[in-house]
A = this chain, B = another copy of it.
Amino acid sequence: MDPLRSPLLTDLYQLTMLQTYLERGMTDTAVFEFFVRKVPENRGFLLAAGLEQALDFLEALRFSEEELEWIRSCGKFASDFADHLEGMRFDGEVHALPEGTVCFADTPILQVIAPLPVAQLVESRLINLLHFQTLIATKAIRCVLAAPDRLLVDFGMRRAHGAEAGLLAARACWLAGFAGSATVLANPLYGVPVFGTMAHSFILAHESETAAFESFARSHPDNVVLLIDTWDTEAAAHKVVKLAPRLAEAGIRIKAVRLDSGDLADHARKVRRILDEGGLKDTGIFCSGNLDEYRIAELLAEQAPIDGFGIGTRLDTSADAPYLDSAYKLMAYAGRPVRKRSEGKATWPGRKQVWRRLDTDGRWQEDTLGLAEESHAGEPLLVPVMKNGRRIAPSEPMDRIRARVKEEVARLPETARRIHAPVAPSVTPSEALRELARQLDAEAAAARD
């Protein structure tokens, strides 16, 4: 069973419900929407991401013989249940925000319109895919906003939560505007540019720091970035200066040094001075070590002479907000809009659309959340992406997604874009939507089972 594609990568209740739906012939069309209930405290907006992988998952959905055998033998299902699953495919419609679209709470990021059983089955993995990339892209864009003109590289795979998290984080960071990632496999899988030079172990394994620097430079003459904090950062910077002429004779330029510990601003200033005085004005300073958008903003506010940042653990785990309060909820079944009213978790009912209004200068003005059949001023954000279980258009190239991010983020109010105490705009529910919610509440209150 393929851990990344198996339809058993779901919650058990999806299967128990599915059996009941099939038994009772509840196979009418359902509308489910994935959305974020609340933008976390330190975020002024969300960047929708993960659609590409969500569509891959839906297109490939099928039960293998091995998976059907598990269903048959696990003792949890009716004896003919596996037979019903055998031919199950995702054959529905999907509407979604294009990846890289800026959005807010309550906005449907993805909308599934499909027969109830299959629309239900895919819930867990769709959330799993859309939640994580949206989470990380939303964290990564804040790093980009903190350091718009610097080289930013994702360093987080090792402490990301598993392999897929590391890989999808690399993609989400690149989508948000990073230069790339240290994670090699993200290049063949997603085209993410990859970066990297040496670890402390490389220095320690050599007889001396200078020997390690020289050995690396001769082996990788086009990519000489030397890690200088293994013992004494400034002493190592002097060694770099001393080594430079010898490398220059061989036509090798020292592209940058990397600092990975201590007071980065202080070290960067001292190292900059040492390099400049040693004639290495073109050698950049690249920093890593416990970084995130807050720390980067501080460093740049102090005017630390840093040219690039490797951002790892706190980015790939979105450490200050490691999850989004998000959900994939039934909005209509068999043409009937529905509404859950659980305390603190009520949903806006019905199949919806969002219209975005800009002012004449192209600045963001308002998002209206309404029923899909309404029409409002502005551009509708949800677009059809899948029909009869197949993509409508080829995958969007990443450069287009990256351009969208840039454009959309620039349109936002400064209050949404800032690093500290950002204010996330709300969507405005339409009058028709509010009326429908009221009406469903009244019906529920009157209902006697």
Q: Which residues of A contact B (CB under 8 A)?
A: 1, 3-4, 6, 8-17, 19-21, 23-24, 26, 30, 32, 66-67, 70, 74, 76, 78, 116, 120, 123-125, 127-129, 131-132, 135, 155, 157-169, 182-185, 187-189, 194-202, 204-206, 208-211, 215-216, 219-220, 223, 229-232, 239, 242, 260-263, 313-314, 317-319, 322-324, 326, 329-330, 333, 338-345, 444, 447, 449
Contacts and interface: CB of A to CB of B under 8 A. Distances in A.
Contact of A3 (B66, B163, B232): B163
B329 A201 contact: yes
B13 A127 contact: no
A153 B146 CA distance: 40
How many copies make up the complex? 2
A128 B17 contact: no
B231 A159 contact: no
14 contacts: A3-B185, A8-B188, A9-B166, A10-B185, A11-B157, A13-B198, A19-B219, A116-B205, A125-B163, A128-B159, A165-B165, A229-B342, A261-B343, A314-B323
10 nearest A-B residue pairs (beta carbon): A12-B196, A162-B164, A161-B161, A201-B330, A13-B196, A262-B343, A161-B165, A210-B449, A261-B342, A20-B219
A16 B231 contact: no
Given A157-B11, A187-B74, A24 B200 contact: no
A132 B223 CA distance: 32
A19 B185 contact: no
A209 B449 contact: yes
Chain B CB within 10 Å, residue with most, of A187, A189, A197, A342 = A342
Contacts of A123: 158, 199, 201
Contact of A13 (B169, B185, B197): B197
B197 A16 contact: yes
Contacts of A242: 449
Given A3-B167, A17-B198, A329-B200, A131 B116 contact: no
Nearest to A330: B201
Given A13-B182, A19-B219, A183-B9, A317 B161 contact: yes
